[in-house]
Amino acid sequence: MGRAPRKQLDRGKGLDRRTLLIGGGAAAGLLLAWGAWPRTYAPNLAAGPTETIVNAFLKIDRSGQIIVVVPQTEMGQGVTTVLPQILADELGADWRTVAVQSAPISPLYANELLAREWLASDWTRLLGDAGRWAIDQYATRSALMLTGGGTSIPMFHDAYRDAGAAARVLLCKAAAARWSIPWESCDIQEGLISDGAQRRMKIGDVAGEAMAFDLPPILPYRQGQDGRLAGQDLARLDTPSKIDGTHNFAADVRLPDMVFASIRQGPIGDATLAGLDDRAASSVTGFLKLVKQDRWVAAVASNWWAANKALDLADPVFTLRGTAVSSEGIDAALEAAFSKSSGRRLYAQGDLEPVFDGATILASEYQVDAALHLAIEPPCATARVTEGGAEIWMATQAPGLARDAIADALGLSRDAVTLYPLHAGGSFGRAMDWDVGVQAAMIARDMGRPVQLLWSRLEDVIQDRPSAPARARMAAKVGRNGAIEGWLAKVAAPCAMTQTWARIADGKLPHEAAQDGAESANRLAVAGMVPPYAIPNWAIDHYPADVGLPLGFMRGNARLHGTFFTESFIDELAHLANIEPMSFRIQMLGGNPRLAHCLTTAAAMGGWQGGVAGSGQGMAAHMINGAYAAVMVEASMSGDRLSVGRIIAAVDAGDPVHPDIARQHIESGLVFGLAFATGASVSYAHGLPTRAILGRMNLPRLADIGEVSVEMIRSTADPAGTSDLVAPLMAPAIANALYTWTGQRIRSLPLVGTP
């Protein structure tokens, strides 16, 4: 089946042909033009003797191997397949010749899209384009390489297509020169350059000389659908090593003379090391040393279990300043936030006051607990520090910031620190923080030999930086015809993304970062809460808080709580208005046909019975940055046990580059969202979580997953990020389903108590 040609994107960045050509004549040091403010960045890709650097995203080996360079962190989302696929499609490569390599740290790979989302403040927004430009410049100049928020494909799609197109033109020119024909008659398919007739030449045969040619002023994209790789379910490049156990995660690195370390960082908050039992630790076979810092202690041994056992025996004692975090304290801080003067109206439309004045208002209060990441790979880093500098092997979603933090901690220049980016075993936002890399480097320096630091699961649960706990006061006025005339959402929550930034970019300690953000309202804390529905008067208020628990970047971020509030409350209003919940939504989605289509598709696939009592069916829908989704579930309760029998998702996320990986994102998000709805959180007392056993977090296992149906709606729109899309929809969909089953409205997450 043919694919409709993708429409040309608006290229606001003003890329010119020199941007694409940074490798040609590398000895001469070609310059890179960058947007409206030309700056020069030398490419820092390493190349073997038979490799030609085409540009920042591509090397070609004389043998014909296509080596695509990817700055984004592979966490299972398939980015090390999809970005190479975009390039290989435009180049005309044979997929079997495509390899992928992690990018070095360079301004060329800055993720301006996520930086804008993260750093846009009121003043940059007021400045409009100039504000955006300022953030972009900041992101670029500080080599702000970031992975998260589903931004990788929207951010880099064009760059990889352009890199592939530039390479194709240059290779065609080189082949055409050999054949003495015009280059325009040449084409590349399956890695072979053709002259438009019978002659063929391998890419690798002319790769070395291709860089001597110039690019045309306007870069031509491939025409035609023959042999295209985009839109195909190609083999993931990371699959072979993941099925035979050879995929190297940070804990799988083995260096000569390397030893193993485990760490304790005390309770949550402003904790410092007070004392420990040195002698007990030294009784462990294989124990080598305790490495002490102000805020942590690590034991080093010839194997990790011995190191961890030595720590247990050393039984370190910490002094905690300030209030110890507790669940009651978190609740109280959120409640108190509503009466603080720092609350602000961040989004509004129309005028709520006259609508609400003297009217009957439906009001509901919701609460969401902090949710843990619980990636199966705990934080880990391997480090070697010598007089010549430091080398760190770790998975990080912010490699530039991690490298800078390690350099600062060791007192080294940034150039003296080499960070080898590894793939993450899950992460889900956890690897935005770089503490484990800094700690590993400091221990390695102390030991004078390579060290692998692995956090125990206990340490991971204590020192996780969960998603924000949040409380909402929702209020609405519904008119006689069932139309919502006014909508007000007041949300008390810390801003987890602001805290994360303060830690990873400004080096704040976790408790400092939490305190610093306690007085400023922030749009990131209520992201996605602008209702997608046509409501004439609405407002979203944020009341900031410090709950004493440092919080972090998470799959879905603030949408995890925001979507629960919005989509649960909409369901309440539908039942109040006595209108079937899907029609209730659809009647307000006249201006949003893509979201309406997702809803009707999910309902049709799932056999939607109209949300009637006893059906056990519930739905939820929303959109994120050009991606639309609706989820329908069938859920039931028997005693305290919740079971979700069927999950149906309908998604419109544009025309995906790799449809099956997009589908994996959706399946993955549904399961992640189920865990968020039913567990993945703990209670806190005396500065510690009250439990840390992974088996007691209500995480779904295979037996908990019934029928899962995913419909990817065909679209010709540009591909949107899908990794964060559906996870936030599961909690409201299940809560809405349980309302029809039990008649009880559950307004807090997790929906059920953990065992």
Partner 1 sequence: MTKFTVNDRPVQYRMDPDTPLLWALRDASNLTGTKYGCGTGDCGACTVDIDGEAVRSCQLSIANAEGRFVTTVEALSPDRGHPLQQAFAADNVSQCGYCVPGVIMAASVLLRRNSNPTDEQIDAAITNICRCGIYPRLRGAIKRAGRIMRGEERIAAAPPPGITPEEAARSVPALGRSASPPKRQP
The least CB distance from residue 477 to partner 1, in Å, is: 39
Touching partner 1, residues 33-52 (CB under 8 A): 48, 50-51
The least CB distance from residue 731 to partner 1, in Å, is: 15
Given 3, 39, 96, 321, the residue binding partner 1 (CB under 8 A): 96
C-alpha closest to that of 496 among 221, 65, 148: 148
| Residue 214 or 233 having the CB closest to partner 1 | 233
| Residue 423 or 508 having the CB closest to partner 1 | 423
- Per CB under 8 A, 59 contacts partner 1: no
- Per CB under 8 A, 286 contacts partner 1: yes
- Per CB under 8 A, 16 contacts partner 1: no
Touching partner 1, residues 548-577 (CB under 8 A): none
| Residue 660 or 718 having the CB closest to partner 1 | 660
The gap from C-alpha 705 to its chain's centroid, in whole angstroms, comes to 24
Q: Could you tell me how many residues of this chain bind partner 1 (CB under 8 A)?
A: 86
Given 240, 322, 354, 590, the residue binding partner 1 (CB under 8 A): 240
- Per CB under 8 A, 699 contacts partner 1: yes
The residue assigned the tokens 């102000």 is 294
Given 497, 525, 635, 670, the residue binding partner 1 (CB under 8 A): 670
Stretch that binds partner 1, among 143-151, 228-236, 352-360, 407-415 (CB under 8 A): 228-236
317 vs 284, 299, 337, 590, 748, CA distance in Å? Answer: 19, 14, 33, 61, 35
What is the C-alpha R_g of the chain? 27
| Residue 520 or 709 having the CB closest to partner 1 | 709
Given 705, 713, 717, 752, the residue binding partner 1 (CB under 8 A): 705
Given 660, 745, 752, 754, the residue binding partner 1 (CB under 8 A): 660
**CA atoms of 25 and 16, how far apart (whole Å):** 18
The gap from C-alpha 321 to its chain's centroid, in whole angstroms, comes to 33
Given 304, 584, 628, 741, the residue binding partner 1 (CB under 8 A): 304
- Per CB under 8 A, 664 contacts partner 1: yes
- Per CB under 8 A, 192 contacts partner 1: yes
Burial-class residue 220 by CB neighbours within 10 Å (0-12, 13-18, 19+). Answer: exposed
- Per CB under 8 A, 128 contacts partner 1: no
Q: What does the block give as tokens for 180?
A: 């003495």
| Residue 66 or 545 having the CB closest to partner 1 | 66
**CA atoms of 210 and 94, how far apart (whole Å):** 19
Given 2, 217, 245, 358, the residue binding partner 1 (CB under 8 A): 245
Touching partner 1, residues 452-511 (CB under 8 A): 454, 456-457
Burial-class residue 177 by CB neighbours within 10 Å (0-12, 13-18, 19+). Answer: middle
**CA atoms of 146 and 137, how far apart (whole Å):** 15
What is the SS3 assignment for 552?
coil
- Per CB under 8 A, 252 contacts partner 1: yes
Touching partner 1, residues 361-380 (CB under 8 A): 374-378
The least CB distance from residue 199 to partner 1, in Å, is: 14
Stretch that binds partner 1, among 108-116, 150-158, 196-204, 572-580 (CB under 8 A): 196-204
The least CB distance from residue 313 to partner 1, in Å, is: 12
CB 343 within 8 A of CB 539: no
- Per CB under 8 A, 693 contacts partner 1: yes
| Residue 426 or 618 having the CB closest to partner 1 | 426
What is the SS3 assignment for 623?
strand
Given 124, 137, 232, 248, the residue binding partner 1 (CB under 8 A): 248
DSSP for residue 97 = G
The least CB distance from residue 290 to partner 1, in Å, is: 18
| Residue 60 or 144 having the CB closest to partner 1 | 60
Given 672, 684, 739, 741, the residue binding partner 1 (CB under 8 A): 672
- Per CB under 8 A, 382 contacts partner 1: no
| Residue 451 or 586 having the CB closest to partner 1 | 451
**Phi (first) and psi of residue 460, to 5 degrees:** -65, -40
C-alpha closest to that of 699 among 676, 682, 683: 676
Given 671, 712, 731, 737, the residue binding partner 1 (CB under 8 A): 671
CB 573 within 8 A of CB 478: yes
Given 251, 474, 558, 725, the residue binding partner 1 (CB under 8 A): 251
120 vs 123, 133, 503, 506, CA distance in Å? Answer: 8, 11, 18, 16
**CA atoms of 556 and 571, how far apart (whole Å):** 21
Touching partner 1, residues 407-426 (CB under 8 A): 423-426
- Per CB under 8 A, 260 contacts partner 1: yes
What is the SS3 assignment for 344?
strand
Given 154, 231, 379, 669, the residue binding partner 1 (CB under 8 A): 669
The least CB distance from residue 539 to partner 1, in Å, is: 36
DSSP for residue 323 = P
- Per CB under 8 A, 676 contacts partner 1: no
Touching partner 1, residues 137-176 (CB under 8 A): none
**CA atoms of 14 and 34, how far apart (whole Å):** 8
Q: How many residues does the chain have?
A: 755
| DSSP secondary structure, 375-435, as one string | -SS--EEEEEEETTEEEEEE--S-HHHHHHHHHHHHT--GGGEEEEE---SS-TTGGG--H
Given 219, 483, 685, 708, the residue binding partner 1 (CB under 8 A): 708
136 vs 41, 114, 141, 142, 737, CA distance in Å? Answer: 15, 10, 8, 10, 43
The residue assigned the tokens 């007392």 is 685
| Residue 202 or 449 having the CB closest to partner 1 | 202
The sign of the torsion formed by the CA atoms of 146, 148, 150, 153 equals positive
The least CB distance from residue 644 to partner 1, in Å, is: 12
Q: What does the block give as tokens for 747?
A: 């307004």
- Per CB under 8 A, 249 contacts partner 1: yes
